[in-house]
Amino acid sequence: MNTWMENLLLLTFVAYGLASVAFAVAVVGRKRRSGEENHVRRWGKAGIVLSIAGAAIQVMFIISRFFVGGRSIASSMFEFTAFLAFALVLAFILIYYLYRTPTLGAFVLPLAVILLAYASVFPKEVRPLIPALQSYWLHIHVTMAALGEGAFAVGFIAGLIYLIRVVGSQRNTAHARYLELTLVLLVLFVGYILVSFLFAGLGYEAAIQHPVNGETNLQEYSLPPLIGPAGGEVVKMDPFLGLDRPLFEAPSWMKGEKAASKLNTVFWSLIAGLILYGLFRALFRKRISEFLHPLVKNLDPEMVDEIAYRAIAIGFPIFTLGGLVFASIWAHYAWGRFWGWDPKEVWALITWLFYSAYLHLRLSRGWIGLKSSWMAVGGFVILMFNLIAINLVFAGLHSYA
């Protein structure tokens, strides 16, 4: 069964990858052919068919994993991130049939591929749930929250496309600089994935023991430990550039058994991502936004802005139910209270308040275009901070994820 699930996940990855290529060909090749409309329609159709096929295969993966584990299929970082990729594609398919815009697919499907690759970095074993997670409210809470976030992610992509379309060709403006910074953050994300696969392929291992609350804790590393725990002692460390101990120690205020290794992961993301960005600039001699601008310059900005709004309007009530209402009910069953100040809970509330402000400002204050698009992008940054930093760096009740 494990081999069956691995094959299904691989097929999903391939289908989303091929869909990305099909949508990209539809966008890039339109200027080079006389039958532009037929070219876009043909490759756009291929892209959406592959997207639906990938989503269908991932449904089989989700069902298979559910029957193997007999529990929620979004109870670990691997499961939740993989399901988030599915939710993103599902929301995109719905939006695509409303607007028929292959350019949207050329940006959404690569993000789905990146999310699946990121999920694959984490352990894939089906593990027993801790007692706090053994509730059917968990299934409802996590599934609904991920579906809402998938729609938010489509809104992010549409907002990003709008910004690339409107300010991507500008130089030395605040909007252009902030747009490039946003794209660099995505590159950092990709950099972490690549470096994780690199050292996993090399079989790198390291372990450092250190005191936690008066007891000795063994902290394992899958990336070379440039940052180690305070007061740590190296137990095992595979060779890497002649290092036999970490270069730095994690701050003493960072608590938790794996705090140092999580900070080390963030540090490696910065290193790998900045190297990737430097290589891109050296190769193309353009900012990323300048490079992407020709792909979207023929799009109608008002339509793209409307897509972002509609995606977020769809996702907001779903996230409200999953991320707040059902989450509170589950918290009551799991911990005996509807609300605490756990970092994950706080950031879920921040996310909800942010998107509430987005809808209020757009509908009541007329925030459309640039302002609306920046908020769509900012909302997704908050989501990613919640998914990555809160789960991997800060200790809390949700650290089991």
Please write the tens of the pLDDT for every residue from 270-296. Answer: 999 999 999 999 999 999 999 999 989
Could you tell me the pTM of the whole model? 0.88
Specify the 3-state DSSP secondary structure of 324: helix
Count of beta carbons in the 10 Å neighbourhood of residue 128: 11
Q: How many residues does the chain have?
A: 401
Structure tokens at 285: 């001699």
| Strand blocks (E) in 28-177 | none
Residue 208 forms part of a structural domain? no
Q: Whole domain around residue 142: which residue ranges?
A: 137-170+298-400
Average pLDDT, the chain: 86
211-223 burial, b at 16+ Cβ within 10 Å, e below that, comes to: ebeeeeeebebbb
Q: Report whether pLDDT(220) > 80.
A: yes
Residue 331 forms part of a structural domain? yes
Number of domain units in the chain: 1
Q: What's the CA gap between 56 and 14, in Å, rounded?
A: 13
Residue 339 forms part of a structural domain? yes
Q: What's the CA gap between 317 and 167, in Å, rounded?
A: 31
* CA gyration radius, the chain: 22
Do the Cβ atoms of 344 and 397 come closer than 8 Å?
yes
**Each residue's pLDDT tens digit, 86-136:** 999 999 999 999 998 999 999 999 999 999 998 888 877 777 666 666 677
| The residue type at 286 | K
**C-alpha closest to that of 316 among 93, 149, 117:** 149
Q: What's the CA gap between 331 and 334, in Å, rounded?
A: 5
- In angstroms, the first-to-last Cα distance of the chain is 23
The H or E element that residue 351 is part of is helix 343-365
Structure tokens at 260: 């140092």
Residue 11 forms part of a structural domain? no
Residue 285 forms part of a structural domain? no
**Each residue's pLDDT tens digit, 235-269:** 888 888 888 888 888 776 666 667 778 788 888 98
Residue 350 forms part of a structural domain? yes
Q: Report whether pLDDT(139) > 70.
A: yes
Backbone angles phi, psi at 212, to 5 degrees: -135, 115
DSSP states along 215-274:
EEEEEEESS--SEE-TT-EEEEE--BTTBSS-SEE--TT--STTHHHHHHHHHHHHHHHH
**Each residue's pLDDT tens digit, 148-172:** 999 999 999 999 999 999 998 888 8
Count of beta carbons in the 10 Å neighbourhood of residue 202: 10
Residue 252 forms part of a structural domain? no
Residue 110 forms part of a structural domain? no
